[in-house]
Structure 1
């Protein structure tokens, strides 16, 4: 099997002590056979050197997917100002405003919606052309697009890319998004399978529970922090920073608190995981996070992670796929990805994981 591996423009691999590699996705959740950098390089002559380029279109669609420039910049591994400049340059070139700001982020203007439609069409046409070229030269193989969450990618992404090279009749491409975004992408037929957390029963979607993962209470490391298990009631007396109500951790905390008739007062509701980690590291806030998201900070002793005493403050990892693909997972997916991923991920988590 040959695997379409990303170049430096797709992922950033950061070496860590011990056995962890962080892998951060920096391309949108489109079925692209090439990275944005490669596409831009291949198409630059066709564009003719104009100010509007494919990279800007990819950035623009990414912002619309997230509805927030900060989150899009984080996923693209770009500075927010750099991404903002790219979009302003795009707006100047087309001569109209493409995005409008509101209290929680951005949304496309009428002109922006039109450009969004054409941008996806352009990217899809490139993808189709490349598939046809490969088919004509006998290079076409069965291709699977696999969605994974940021915490999975940070813990086992490098190993996944290596494991996926062991087959000889298929290609595997990985995209990284939050669980609810992966579910949405699956229902739009943009990905084939996804490893995602806390997926409720959904019409047209099959799911298989894989493991339960206990979460950590996270604070800044001042050298004197308690590292023993902590109860939920004590956690709720701290200045918590969480994402919005669409986020899995937010819902886990609120549901666990409701079962115990405890009030939840979120001190900081922020727009990105990066912003939460910045607040925690400065000692301004605390949070509840999975190990994969904080592994790098723990390795450099920026955070202290305390196990949570309550056994229901957990998230469940599922493999999800469309009913249109059949009721069962193909043996190739199960053998090459499902088994190795669950084994690697649970090994990284240690006692915080329970296989289902």
Structure 2
């Protein structure tokens, strides 16, 4: 499948008439019809129902149109940004992040960077810390925000802050008698561990905290996403531990309880390439470290 197939499909889906679609595409009708048949053959399902002289999208066709429209719009934006960067109208600055930092310093940093330098295109990519390290080394991003330390001579890491952990429990269960929960009590409960993969990750940090207390978690379910883990908590499958800033989500079906244990924290760790002399990176790093003081 090629991008032109999707472009042809989208125009035909908008017009629901091959003749009009061919006119828009500045091509003859027979080759356009062949391209659409080739796309249907490759996908393996009918995308259009033929109704008289017109067309009607099938359920599969409607789904493909919705999904590919989003994809091609994003591609067009990426190509336009690439042109601007190639013309040196703008410079690209990529930031990788784990989802939980979206409730802390990251949104303010993004606003700061976008407001400070109009000639820089700030791009965002959700990825765990291990993926951030590889993306930094390959040049796909310039700055990363994660929650685990990585020993790599090509990467410099700075601990921005140590964020307390809280236990996420179902809002439907009675409030605990004690104001705070203990690791011993938490270890007796079914636990939702996230992210399940790839590893090492925040999940390994949590496991190490309990091991340091001589405890082993009863993992009832693994999840890949923070929101999935909280949804499973709300459903009563188990509990989980999240950084305190996640409480800003204000979910009605989940309650957050403090934990009475020294060291039950999750660091926010900033990563960037050793030897990167970019003034814009230096500006970003300095701003983040001021916020963490």
TM-score (norm 2): 0.65
1:191 is the counterpart of 2:141: yes
C-alpha deviation, 1:237, in angstroms: 0.4
Which position in structure 2 is the counterpart of 1:258? Answer: 211
Which residue of 204, 209, 234 corresponds with 2:154? 204
Contact 2:165–2:244 under 8 Å retained in 1: yes
Partner residue, 1:170: 120
**Which residue does the alignment assign to 2:271?**
320
The residue number in structure 2 matching 1:308 is: 259
Q: CA RMSD in A?
A: 3.5
CA contact (8 A) 1:145 1:192 kept: yes
CA distance in 2, matches of 1:91, 1:304: 49
Deviation, 1:219, is: 0.2
Classify the secondary structure of the residue corresponding to 2:219.
coil
The question of 1:153 aligning with 2:102 is answered yes
Q: Distance in 1 between matches of 2:121 and 2:221?
A: 42
Find out whether 1:289 has 2:237 as its counterpart: no
- Residue 225 of structure 1 and its aligned partner are, at CA, apart by 1.5
Equivalent of residue 231 in structure 2, options 265, 278, 282: 278
**Would the aligned equivalents of 2:165 and 2:241 in 1 still touch at CA under 8 Å?**
yes
* Per-residue Cα deviation, 1:120-155 (whole angstroms, up to 9, x for no partner): xxx99995775345544xx52333112222122244
TM-aligned CA distance change 1:206 to 1:92, over 3 Å: farther
Structure 2 counterpart SS, 1:215: strand
Structure 1: stretches of 5+ with no match in the other structure? 1-42, 52-89, 96-122, 347-354
Q: Deviations over 1:8-48 (max 9, x none)?
A: xxxxxxxxxxxxxxxxxxxxxxxxxxxxxxxxxxx987954
The answer for the alignment partner of 2:182 in structure 1 is: 231
Which one is further off, 197-206 or 286-295? 286-295
TM-fit CA distance, 1:319? 1.8
Of 154-163 and 262-271, deviating more is 154-163
SS of alignment partner, residue 194 of structure 1: strand
Give yes or no for the alignment of 1:267 onto 2:220: yes
Whole-Å separation in 1 of the counterparts to 2:3 and 2:179: 56
SS of equivalent residue, structure 2 residue 8: coil
Task: Note the alpha carbon deviations across 1:263-317, whole angstroms, 9 max, x for none.
Answer: 2221212333333212111222111112344531xx2432211122222222222
In the alignment, the residues of structure 2 paired with residue 324 and residue 177 of structure 1 have an alpha-carbon distance, to the nearest angstrom, of 23
Matched length: 232
Whole-Å Cα distance in 2 between the matches of residues 170 and 203 of structure 1? 28
The equivalent residue for 1:77 is: none
Please give the secondary structure, in 2, of the residue aligned with 1:240: strand
For structure 2, the residue ranges without an aligned partner over 5 or more in a row are: 11-38, 45-73
Q: Quote the Cα distance in structure 1 between the aligned partners of 2:185 and 2:75.
A: 50
Residue 197 of structure 1: CA displacement? 1.6
Cα deviation, residue 342, structure 1 = 5.5
